[in-house]
Structure 1
Amino acid sequence: MDELSFNRQVKALEKAMKEANQSKETALSALQHAGIVDKNGKLTEMYRPKTK
């Protein structure tokens, strides 16, 4: 990846993060879309702490 492509990628990610963090609802939606939390806002199994 050349520097121009890298900078474009960084700007696109910054824009997406800014949009996702506009409100609690959009942040939750982004986390759900990424598979980090479920529809109830609880961490999915992959992201839950391991219990002993």
Structure 2
Amino acid sequence: MEQVRIRVEQVFARMKAWKILRGCRLKGDGIHHAMLGIARWLGDHLRDSH
């Protein structure tokens, strides 16, 4: 059961990263801002999960 939860969290993380990248691309902010947003979100996610 733990493996399923981990897999689901990974899928949601990828979906969130994709949404950030797509949003920045559509707004014209560029990949640099998108990567900063993903890094910030991932850092928050990892900190909150422990």
Larger RCO, structures 1/2 (Cα 8 Å, 6+ apart): 2
TM range (shorter): 0.3 to 0.5
> Greater helix share, 1 or 2?
2
TM-score, normalised to structure 1, is 0.45
Query: Larger radius of gyration, structure 1 or 2?
Result: 1
